[in-house]
Structure 1
Amino acid sequence: MIGSQSVLVIGGGSVGLAVAALLGSGDHAEALQVVLLEPRSIPKWDPKHIDLRVYALSRASQWMLQQIGAWHHISEARVSPYRRMRVWESSPISGLGSLDFDSADIGEPDLGHIVEDVLLREALLRRLEVLPNVELRLGLGLDKIEVGPRDVRVTTGNGEILSGNLLIAADGSDSRVRTLLGLSVSGASYDQKAIVAHVGTRKEHMETAWQRFLKTGPLAFLPLTGGRSSVVWSMSSQHADSLLEQSSKKFINQLEVASEGILGGVDSVSARASFKLRVMHSRRYCCPRVALVGDAAHIVHPLAGQGMNMGFLDAVEIVDVIENALNRGEDPGDLRTLRRYERNRKGENLKMLLALDGLNRFFRFPGISLLRVAGLSVVNAASPVKRALMREALGLSK
């Protein structure tokens, strides 16, 4: 049985690890006991291998990682800043139908950093390992959740019972916690998949993120260290399955056509993988003694790379709500307390979800290509609008 001021964190992805680290290094760290449960082992980062899954972390996410002492583990290992972003539908060479963002326009050193998933998790894990009030329990799944008036109890796969004042579910898009508690969601499948790979190109990426909107879905090149780029290419599930079966040479040929050779052609490609795309939003972010964060609460289209940043903002907010409640002598697991978190994050996440969903549909809608080209050109010429968009994406708008 865990002590009276205790928090169970379910899920050992980056958001769950961040929640545990924020709690374990915060103002009330000495008064809290944090237990993190994860059914699988956490993979080790290999400096000789580049993870296929990468994230474009915003300045707000970087600040959070610095606050908990994890960022230096990333920056000392491998991280790639991106200082510019170019978005286009028609050829960017013509200057029409394209949108350019430059960090120098808002006086910032960069627009964000590209970080590998496995490195991000390892950096957070290394921080947790030195926090005395955080206990990691790997290899334990959930069989049962019981919510009482003063605590929440979970039964693990091996029959062990743990209890706490509050349970934070960070167990991903197929959240076991959400399922066990019967929390409903809204959403739909895009009937799309995103193919991910690393490529070597003839031209330097110039620390620029490139994204082309195709009728079939967006194609992005994200800059990596060593001159390589991470490709995230969204398309119909059927087309993705077909491309994954093709030879590297045929895949490269189609990638060069789709990207209009923006980086001068592709010389090499890594192994490829894909993941299904869908949009999802939990109808509730909390119930008595339980709060949902990250992909357990929301899933967005990856076209703007905001999913992880949204999850980290959830992590910061739920910990802030918990600490404020403790400052006032309130119960952090009380529903009235948790609804403060829901009010502060659900609306913000919904706005981002709808915006990304709308963009994806807008650029796939046939027959309005000229309207899209004109729209991109107008926004590109409107410097105040571009600066506002960049500050919002960096998490500097507040």
Structure 2
Amino acid sequence: MALFSGCAGGDGSNHASSTAADNVTPAFEPLPESDWERADDPSEWEQAAEERIERHRCSDVTVTVIRDGEPVSNADVRLRLHRHAYDFSTAYNVARHWSSDPSDPYRRWVSRLFNEAVFENAYKWRQWTRSDGHERTHGVIVFLRANDVAVAGAPVVWQNHEKDVLPDGVWDAYEAGDTERLRRLIDDHIRSLIGHNAGDHGVSDWVLVNEQLGFHDFTDLLSDAPPTRSPPLRRWFAIARDAAPDATLAVNDYDILTLDRPDHRDRYADLVTYLLGGEAPPDEVAFQSHVTTPEGSIGPAEQYARLDRFAGLGDVDLVVSEFDTPGITDEDAAGDYLYRTLKTVYSHPASAGFRVWGYWDEQHWAGDAPLFRSDWSKKPGYHAYTDLVFDQWFTDAQGTTDAAGEFTTTADLGRYDLRVATGSETFSDVRAVTDPDGETRLRVEL
């Protein structure tokens, strides 16, 4: 069994053979495999990204084993990542879930590849208010949480007149110019959707305002202010914060990390700045990253510069909320772009999550998902993704304690399965490694 540490810098003398690990724990579930071909001599952008990842996504770890107050030497230790601290996410379709059986690849792959999922359609206003909307989502939430996949929600307010996402009553109020009714409907929807799911289901990450730059009919009616500085936006964040005080709330828009639209980016920066000045500022700034045309892709240096700009606006996390590449027709090129984008985004210290917008061609809005073809064969994008997430950024460290009872390594941030064995005694626990600054010390008393 090949063992590796995603973060460099551990004490190599502490890494023992797989025989020692076998004394600690039964075999772990195998990781998703990758056949990604890495460059022998990484380019300048990749070397810079890897240096940032080492600095911001890793922690020095010391496991200290004690018995009766005395250090235990030659104890076998294994520290294996159970769940990344970073959100590696996907869109997940409720209707597809219910139309598949438990052994279907669509259900099986979601927990093997991702630690978070957002419902593709089920939380859109019209779908959520269907007579069976709550019941259908509840069963899928139970499934995902049972498989250690967190559930995020999107979108809460999306004023899109081109999509069938809003109940007729909302449009009736808008078309009648009934501002009081429209305001009440939106306020009640925010309270209901976020409050219900936060309380009953633990869904606490939300895209609250979606595509405000392109769709702002309601805010135009409710205020004379421009779309990027409309007071109802701040009100909606305050209502959401009141409904779920611990929720993570995001603003989301498109063409920020893709294409060359500087005026559009300026408007988004204006919107984010305005929201950050409210009484309930957003926690996250989200970027749709659909590459729908060949000219939509941008290089890693420009991607990082754009991320840096938004990180500089205030105390916010940055997330890629919808990544795919239907505009890149060559699969190898699409895989390369996924690799470059994910590594660049992950290397930014303000980045908190990266979401592919679906993973299978048969359940993708453009029929071209990043990871799997229609027959479930693996695309180059699958191998690029798994190489990063389950190889380069995955710690599985093992070894023995020294005379001071210590085992040291460097580990990717996340939640770990910690196993210690000495003689006939075995200790197992789950421990967190979440601080990239300084050293994480894990104490085990036998």
- Give the structure-2-normalised TM-score: 0.24
- When you count strand as a share of all residues, which structure comes out higher? 1
Structure index of larger Rg: 2
